[in-house]
Structure formats: C-alpha cells, structure tokens
C-alpha cells in the first residue's frame, strides 16, 4: 500500500509499505494492504511503518489518517522532537 506522511510544513515520507501502526484517539491500530476505507483522529504518539523490510518510526503530535483504495494519507499536526 502507498503511505504519505505530511505536516503543514513539508512531506515527511512517501512510499510503499507493508504495514503501518497509528496512535488512534481510542488506542493504537494497524493498517495492512487492502484495508477497508477509514478516517481516524490521531493523538500524540509514534507512527511505525515497515518500509522495504526496515521498521521506521516517526513521533507525531496528533493528526488525521485516511485510508482509501490501498492509499494511506497521514496529515500530522507536527513532528515531536
């Protein structure tokens, strides 16, 4: 599936991933290939995704994620340091 991670300032990541984990407002959840359509609020926490076999982590301050037609778009409020 294709993942894009965006903040108001810049694009953080764009590429194909196998799985992604998000810090949902009601708890952590995972998205995999061919997931059903979804829109969810995100709280501050770690987004984890598997990119070409390597696990990557990005800490966000919150945001929204949309899943549709095997494309995942994360609009993050910001990146936590």
pLDDT in tens, 40-57: 999 999 999 998 889 999
User: Residue 6: how many CA atoms within 13 Å on its side-chain side?
Assistant: 9
pLDDT the model gives residue 77 = 96
First to last CA, the chain: 27
**Tokens 């061919």 -> residue:** 34
pLDDT in tens, 29-43: 999 999 999 999 999
For the chain, what is the mean pLDDT?
95
Rounded to an integer, what distance in angstroms lies between the CA atom of residue 44 and that of residue 3? 19
Rounded to an integer, what distance in angstroms lies between the CA atom of residue 24 and that of residue 39? 10
**Is the model's pLDDT at 81 over the cut of 80?**
no
pLDDT in tens, 9-18: 999 999 999 9
Rounded to an integer, what distance in angstroms lies between the CA atom of residue 35 and that of residue 8? 26
Name all domains of the chain by residue range, CATH numbers in brackets: 2-75 (2.60.15.10)
């Amino acid at each position: 599936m294709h993942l894009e991670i965006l903040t108001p300032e810049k694009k953080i990541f764009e590429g194909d991933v196998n799985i992604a984990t998000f810090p949902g407002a009601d708890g952590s959840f995972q998205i995999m290939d061919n997931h059903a359509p979804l829109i969810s609020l995100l709280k501050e926490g770690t987004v984890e995704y598997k990119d070409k076999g390597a696990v990557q982590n990005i800490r966000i301050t919150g945001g929204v994620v949309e899943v549709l037609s095997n494309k995942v778009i994360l609009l993050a409020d910001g990146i936590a340091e």
